[in-house]
Structure 1
Amino acid sequence: MELSQIINSIYPLPQQSLSKLNLIAEEVTLPKGFLLINKERPNHNLFFIKQGIVRAYTYRGDSEVTFWFGTEGDTAISIKTYINHEPSYENIDLLEDCTLYKIDSRKLKMLYDEDIHIANWGRKFVELEYLRTEQRLISMQFLSAAQRYDELLKHNRQLVQRVPLGYIASYLGISQVSLSRIRAGR
């Protein structure tokens, strides 16, 4: 997916504004297993996924808890770092070799000050990120594991083929055995 498609899917920009964003973007290719965002260190970059899959996770005791997957067209970012310039709550690693567009958020915020279209795009970007977080929270609070699995299949079926089942079980908040039972019942 091209950067202009990703940017315009968030909020359409005039070509002149889009060109300004292209000037501060860098395409990078990184290997599977690369730790894109480390919760121990602030990372002031936004990453738009051109190709590949990433996951966000944190630790509960000694166990990793996966709470988000990003695929083509999604943004990998620590909102805490983006807003407060503090280390993030999560780690984000690559589940496949990935091609990403990297934008330094400090440069992006400078563009907010000079281009109202980019500033409006930034507002819409953060609004959409918070909506996704809210949807995930509501899903975890009010849907059963089977319903969450059905939602995953409905909205992102490709994950089941591309992501290890242990990560999917963690994302759903269940064990791999429970996931196997849910899958067998489908």
Structure 2
Amino acid sequence: MNEIRKFIDNISPMNDSDWEFFSLKLQKVELEKNTTILEIGKTENYLSFISKGIIRLYIPREESDLTFGFLFDNEFVTAYESFLTQSPSEYQIETLTETILWKISNKDLQEVYERTSNGNIIGRKMAENMFLIKSKRELSLLNKTAEERYLDLFSDRPKLLQQIPLKYIASYIGITPQALSRIRKRIN
């Protein structure tokens, strides 16, 4: 739980009483590799902090899944649209490695926003950060080549990328596994 406190304090430090109130709302969950966290069509009720692990966001398809997000240690994960609107999710979330999460329910998070001095600031900054990540990905898909997207992903997370199956990486950067194989050959 120390890592979530450190992460939050880097955004906007919480005083000890606010932290105690917030931390009592957190629930620790340990998940095995390839565990579905949220199924398509289910409503997201939790915002989770990844203490350890790699998580994939994707749309299941018969021919091959469409992966559009990876999340790692010290990041938050949720089906944000579903979480905000309390409507069914249009995508799934699964673990790619053994994962430890600290979860807070939507109801409890709203209470943290109302009863702590800087809960709203932290929430706003996290929402802004999620928007920036999404915007960066969209612009990357529009402005960069597949090779540039791969190199960006590889330079951002070289060690962790080794744990993600290549078919998911290919899907994430918008190409086939065969095209990714050619890019990797060219780079090496």
Give ranges in structure 1 of 5+ residues lacking alignment: none
Find the counterpart in structure 2 of residue 173 from structure 1: 174
TM-score (ref. length: structure 1): 0.93
Q: Is 1:137–2:138 an aligned residue pair? A: yes
Find the counterpart in structure 2 of residue 78 from structure 1: 79
- Cα distance change on mapping 1:10 and 1:88 into 2, 3 Å: farther
Offset at residue 60 of structure 1 (A): 5.0
Find the counterpart in structure 2 of residue 101 from structure 1: 102
User: CA-atom RMSD, angstroms?
Assistant: 1.5
The AA in structure 1 aligned to 2:45 is H
Give CA deviations for 1:47-77 in whole Å, capped at 9, x if unaligned. Answer: 1111111100014564210011111011110
SS in 2 for 1:18: helix
Question: d(CA) in 1 for partners of 2:12 and 2:70?
Answer: 22
Give ranges in structure 2 of 5+ residues lacking alignment: none
Task: Map 1:1-186 to 2 at 5 A.
Answer: 2-60=3-61, 62-186=63-187
The AA in structure 2 aligned to 1:85 is Q
Question: d(CA) in 2 for partners of 1:6 and 1:99?
Answer: 15
Q: Is the 8 A contact 2:12 2:118 kept in 1?
A: no
Q: How many residues align?
A: 186
Question: d(CA) in 2 for partners of 1:7 and 1:131?
Answer: 18
Question: d(CA) in 1 for partners of 2:165 and 2:152?
Answer: 18
Offset at residue 17 of structure 1 (A): 2.0
Question: d(CA) in 2 for partners of 1:92 and 1:22?
Answer: 24
Q: Is the 8 A contact 1:42 1:85 kept in 2?
A: yes
Q: Is the 8 A contact 1:54 1:92 kept in 2?
A: yes
Percent of residue pairs bearing the same amino acid type: 30
Question: d(CA) in 2 for partners of 1:121 and 1:75?
Answer: 12
Offset at residue 137 of structure 1 (A): 0.6
Q: Is the 8 A contact 2:71 2:77 kept in 1?
A: yes
Offset at residue 16 of structure 1 (A): 2.5
Question: d(CA) in 1 for partners of 2:27 and 2:62?
Answer: 36
Question: d(CA) in 2 for partners of 1:146 and 1:11?
Answer: 37
**Mean Cα displacement is larger for which, 37-46 or 141-150?**
37-46
Q: Is the 8 A contact 2:18 2:117 kept in 1?
A: no
The AA in structure 1 aligned to 2:35 is F
Question: d(CA) in 1 for partners of 2:70 and 2:136?
Answer: 14
The AA in structure 2 aligned to 1:129 is M
Offset at residue 176 of structure 1 (A): 1.1
The AA in structure 2 aligned to 1:157 is P
